[in-house]
Each structure stands twice: as C-alpha cells, then as structure tokens.
Amino acid sequence: MEISLTEPSDIVRSRYEALKARSMRLDISRGKPGPDQLDLVNPMLNILTSEDYISDSGIDCRNYGGIEGIPEMRQIFANILDVPSSDVIIGGNSSLNLMFDRISDFYSRGVNGYTPWHQQGNVKFICPVPGYDRHFSICEYFNIQMIPIEMNENGPDMDTAEKLIQSDPLIKGMWCVPIYSNPTGCVYSDETIRRIASLKPKATDFRLFWDNAYPVHNFAEPRPLIRNILNECEKNGNRDMPLIFASFSKVSFAGGGVTAIATSDNNRKHILKQMNVQTVGPDKINQLRHVRFFKNAQGIYDHMEKMAAVLRPKFETVLTALEKELTGLSEWSRPNGGYFIHFRAKDNCARRIVELCRQAGLVQV
C-alpha cells in the first residue's frame, strides 16, 4: 500500500492505520542479507569433503599456524585490492574486528613504537559525515574525539580535512569508505584520493583507515575502479599511512565470511606481532572453503553479477516508490552499487519516521 504526503492528512493517516492493522513484522535491519542472497552461497557448505583439507599450497588447514592466511586466499584479496599478496593478511569473519584491533593496539601500545595514544591526551579522528556508525562507535568506545567533516559527491571535504590533519598533532586517523561509501553511495574521485594520499599529517603516528568494504558490490556497469591508495601514498612518502580493510561481507555468509587487511611491510610486521600473541592460527578451513567455491577473483566478480540480479530489482522498487510518493518533499541517493539508499528527511523528522515505521511493522532485529 502506497502512502503519499501529497494527499490530505486524514487520508494519509487512514492509509497508515490500515498498514498498522496488517500486524506485519518485516526485518529491515540495515545491511542484513536476505535469504535469497545467502542461498547463492549455500553450496559452499558442502564444498569440502573429509579428504579435502590440504590447500593447493600444501597447507593442512585443519591445524594451527598460518597466521597470515593461506596463500590462495591472500591472492584473491590481492587481486581485488590491486596490491601484492605479500601486503595482505587474512582475518576472521569481521573486518570491523580488524579495525577495532588496530585502534585498540594503537591506543594501548602505540603505532609501530610511538607513544600509545592513551598517553598523548585527547586524541581525535576525522569522521566524514554521513558515515558508518560502527566506525564512530569504535571511536566512542575508546573516548576518541570525533571531528565531523562534510561528505560530497566526490568524497570527504578535503579542504577541511587537509587544514585539520596538517595542523593538529592529536588527530591520529581518518575513516574512509572509498567505494559506494556508507551510506551515501558515493565513489571517491581520483582528485580526492590524490589529496588524501598527499596529506602531511602533523601527527607522525597518523593512520588512514581505508575501509574498502564494497569494491565488488556493483549492480550497474561499469564496476568502479579507483586509484590504488597504497601506491599513491608511497609516491608521497606516506607508505605506512594507509591500512586497507576488506571483507566478503554481502558476498558470502554474513556471519561466516573472510576478511583482509593490506598495508605496508612495516605495518604488517607490527600487526603480525600482535596477532601471534592473540591467536595460534585463523580458521583456515573457512578460507579453504571460500577458495574452493570462488576459485579466484574472477569467481568473485561472476558471483557478484548473480548477487546484482537479486539486489537490482529491490533497489529499483524502493527508488520507484520514493520518486512516485516523495518527489519534491525529500531527497535520496541513487547508487549504482553498495548496499544503501541514503534518504535525507526534512530537519527534525528522522526519529519520528523511524518510530512510525516501527509501529507499522518495519523492525530491526
């Protein structure tokens, strides 16, 4: 049932009450894959047999060790991120966990030998807004002051970012989602990436948290290709600045995927030092399962075409309804990929909209 704000308020209210009367309970948790998406990777559950546990590189995936991940999995991420496989470390199922660990390590132990952040005073992070709330939650958890800067269609407002980062030694990092940024869906421009890579932070222990969460999540051609942040930073003497995070979120199983971090050799050594204390080995069976299913980066791209066929009609349905019912009353993004439509309500309306949706049966579980 459609609701139009162009109709008289009593009619709108009547239609809304009719929706509530349906007693629906629809799970609209943000970013949560639907069963039809998860069904696409169900064969992965049975892809390994009791005799298939040795990787092509000869690693017994049942056993301890292999902190960096099996070579085949590292190569898949390397090809997707356009970096050498030697720069890649494989993580568990959550890239957010990898980011939290980096912040935790820097906060308590310091960045590669520098003074721990908690001993330096009120450290700060640059947070492009709108942005990913879980990034902000990590900052909140560690009492890191968040400095919001505006996002535009090309990425963060770099005039503001440069001014702040290059003048304040307590600014220790910046969050970035360069492709289909959460939640606006923008793709960083070449110029934005060049300016980020050429930053000269006042803090010598500044790190760029490059959350490349959606590099293959397109449902309209062509797939966006951005400048390689590691290469660009190296050109500017900032080889150690970026930490690139990626995962199979929204690719394979939501709670059983694989993640990766790619960074400089210097950073990698420090990360592995922590990981060798933290664990005696990752879940290599899950890595092998993903390798057997996808085989290589091209297998990922092929799979995401199937995912696009599932997602594209859902985006089109929502956009069509918004255009029909709310044109001229609100604004929203029209992304070519990613996982979000960014709806911009009028001032002071967002909380009320969420509450009305909840009462009508649209819930977050």
Confidence at residue 2, expressed as pLDDT on a 0 to 100 scale:
46
Residues of the chain with pLDDT under 70: 1-8, 365
The tokens describing 147, both together, are: 């400095």
DSSP 32: P
Confidence at residue 218, expressed as pLDDT on a 0 to 100 scale:
93
Q: Identify which of 201, 205, 105, 219 has the alpha carbon closest to the alpha carbon of residue 161.
A: 201
Angle at 97 between CA 350 and CA 136, to 5 degrees: 30
Q: List the domains of the chain with CATH numbers.
A: 9-39+300-363 (3.90.1150.10), 71-296 (3.40.640.10)
For residues 315 and 308, give the distance between their C-alpha atoms in angstroms, rounded to a whole number. 10
> Contact at 8 Å (CB) between 204 and 170?
no
Q: What is the enclosing helix (H) or strand (E) of 26?
A: strand 26-27
pLDDT digits (tens, 9 = 90+) for 110-162: 999 999 999 999 999 999 999 999 999 999 999 999 999 999 999 999 999 99
Confidence at residue 6, expressed as pLDDT on a 0 to 100 scale:
53
Give the dihedral of Cα atoms 266, 267, 272, 278; nearest 10 deg: 150
pTM (whole model) above 0.85:
yes
The single-letter code of the amino acid at 33 is: P
Residues 6+ apart with CB under 8 A from 76: 290, 291, 294, 296, 297, 300
Confidence at residue 3, expressed as pLDDT on a 0 to 100 scale:
45
Confidence at residue 365, expressed as pLDDT on a 0 to 100 scale:
67
| 76 CB neighbour count, 10 Å cutoff | 26
DSSP 349: -
For residues 192 and 174, give the distance between their C-alpha atoms in angstroms, rounded to a whole number. 14
For residues 37 and 212, give the distance between their C-alpha atoms in angstroms, rounded to a whole number. 21
